[in-house]
Structure 1
Amino acid sequence: MDISTFLAAHQLPDSYRDIALKWFTPLADEIFAHQESAKKPVFIGVNGCQGSGKSTLCDFLVYYLSQHKKLNIVSLSLDDFYLDKSSRNALAVKVHPLLATRGVPGTHDVELAQQTFDRLRGYGTVSIPRFNKAIDDPYPVVDWPVIHSPPDVVLVEGWCWGVSSQSKSQLLEPVNILERDEDPLGIWRSYVNKQLGESYQALFDQMSFWIMLKAPSFAQVYNWRKEQEHKLAAKVGASKPHTGIMTDLEIERFIQHYQRLTEHSLETLPARCNYVFHLDETRQITKVDKAV
């Protein structure tokens, strides 16, 4: 199968061809078979920590299923449902200052996500939300892409997508300096955990198939997140003012917001997934576990 157009469009090395053909084409074929026997649209959940490659995986699945299986497929990212800065600043005042930073459960527009899911199940046109990370605010609604609904398959990817909430006892001890110094009473992590256990689970329950790109550990996330930020800087131009590009030190602090739930997901989520791709430090897949 020739995927040269995909590689060129996404500026991927030729080595990705072997990865896609060995690991992701069989996955896509199974999604296709799953879709044929189910009511459409089929919702597929994709979990992976920051920089794990989940966006590229979803891009490949869109390409393969649309070009080679003739399916109508749409890809959503949890990141595109972030609340705007003013809403997060309001949460920072009302609940805890750390909620001004996008990322954790409680900083997304869950209602908009559910509305989007509902519209994708109906007939007509649907605007797909898009968030501009460079300015830390959503794109204007008029700039959101519009698709014809219902699609055959809906991919939904996110760093905490599918993760369960923790017990109260698990929240007691801080997992890093950020939690120790900036959330000593546990107010922030308790709020995040409550949101995750309530409104987010209702979204997760709508997925009928789960995929995970499993990092070797959270320690690798810093390096992968730096790579993402450097690519974003090259794309938008880091020398321009107000781009929101983070320095490496800012990234080191930023990812601490994600540590608790990323580590929790690495321990608990694989048991829920249909496919778990195990990654090494260079993001190469070492093996895949499939649900029986």
Structure 2
Amino acid sequence: MPIIGEISAHQKNANRPLIVGINGSQGSGKSTLADYLKLTLSESFGFSVAAMSMDDFYLTKAKRQQLATSVHPLLATRGVPGTHDYHHMEQVLTALRAGQNTAIPRFNKAIDDPFEASQWTQVTEPVDIIIMEGWCWGTPAQSSDALADSINTLESEQDSQGVWRRYVNEQVANHYQPLYQQTDMMLMLKAPSFACVKQWRLEQEQKLAARLSADDDRSGLMNEQQIETFISYFQRLTEHGFNTLLERSHAVWQLESNRAISAMSRPKEFS
């Protein structure tokens, strides 16, 4: 609520929308926090709020397969920078900041492809606040030296020459950091370690499966072994975020393994 109070005070006489970024590993509660901020800021404070996730800007399976063929096979799997439609992300942010009508895409993880455009979220009025949540939102590019050694089995066995991780790093530096720099307030939900992420991500998958009906397509769902492999794609940038985002964030919630909040800090002043 103190964060919401600061946002409200800042936006009372503002002449442009405020962009709030939320960073957190898979299953950390980013979507829950974004939903809470949107609900409270709109219903209790009267602001018009647009909330979205980086996940909803993932490229189609077909486009990721093209990257897998032309750049590196690991790019067939959604997740890392370079597997999002960053051009579309920039277009939506630009339209929202200009007060224009736009549509926020939605990605269907159950089939690993976007929903039809008819099911996207329509924004038909100017907004006061834009919330963008994402597992790597705000995480900067790494140094060349940091890319030299593999950090897990996925990298050592399937990216031994470092082609994939160098490509991802270039995408961050050239296309994602300019988007991150638009963030006015940065919030972080910090996991105690990457070891917690597997269980959190498994819980997410189980909740997704529980929401589906018997007739829904489940082809994109993963079992526990597949999830263990899947999260390896995220390890490098997640851990890099642990080491770099604290000083860049206006509020950091330290989480325990059960996602209870153990501490909160305010590394950077918001003004």
Equivalent residue number for residue 45 of structure 2 = 69
**Percent of counterpart pairs with the same letter?**
47
Which of 227, 233, 236 is the equivalent residue of 1:260?
236
Aligned-residue Cα RMSD (Å) equals 1.3
Equivalent residue number for residue 120 of structure 2 = 144
1:76-117, Cα deviation, whole Å (9 max, x unpaired): 100000011111000000000000000000000000001101
Cα displacement (A) at 1:161 = 0.2
8 A contact 1:236–1:243 mirrored in 2: no
8 A contact 1:126–1:149 mirrored in 2: no
Equivalent residue number for residue 222 of structure 2 = 246
Matched, 1:51 2:54: no
Partner AA of 2:118 in structure 1: V
Partner AA of 2:156 in structure 1: R
8 A contact 1:120–1:149 mirrored in 2: no
Distance in 1 between the 2:95 and 2:177 partners?
19
Cα displacement (A) at 1:131 = 0.8
8 A contact 1:96–1:188 mirrored in 2: yes
Normalised by the length of structure 1, the TM-score is 0.89
1:208-249, Cα deviation, whole Å (9 max, x unpaired): 110000000101000100000010111115896543110000
Number of aligned residue pairs: 268
Matched, 1:35 2:8: no
Higher mean displacement: 29-38 or 137-146: 29-38
Equivalent residue number for residue 200 of structure 2 = 224
Distance in 2 between the 1:179 and 1:117 partners?
33
Cα displacement (A) at 1:124 = 4.0
Higher mean displacement: 191-200 or 28-37: 28-37
Equivalent residue number for residue 215 of structure 1 = 191
Q: Which runs of 5+ in 2 are unaligned?
A: none
Cα displacement (A) at 1:38 = 3.4
Partner AA of 1:209 in structure 2: M
8 A contact 1:121–1:149 mirrored in 2: no
Distance in 2 between the 1:57 and 1:240 partners?
28
8 A contact 1:126–1:147 mirrored in 2: yes
Equivalent residue number for residue 170 of structure 2 = 194
8 A contact 2:110–2:220 mirrored in 1: yes
Cα displacement (A) at 1:123 = 3.6
With over 3 angstroms needed to count, the CA separation of the structure-2 counterparts of 1:239 and 1:145, relative to structure 1, is: closer
Q: Which runs of 5+ in 1 are unaligned?
A: 1-24
Distance in 1 between the 2:41 and 2:212 partners?
30
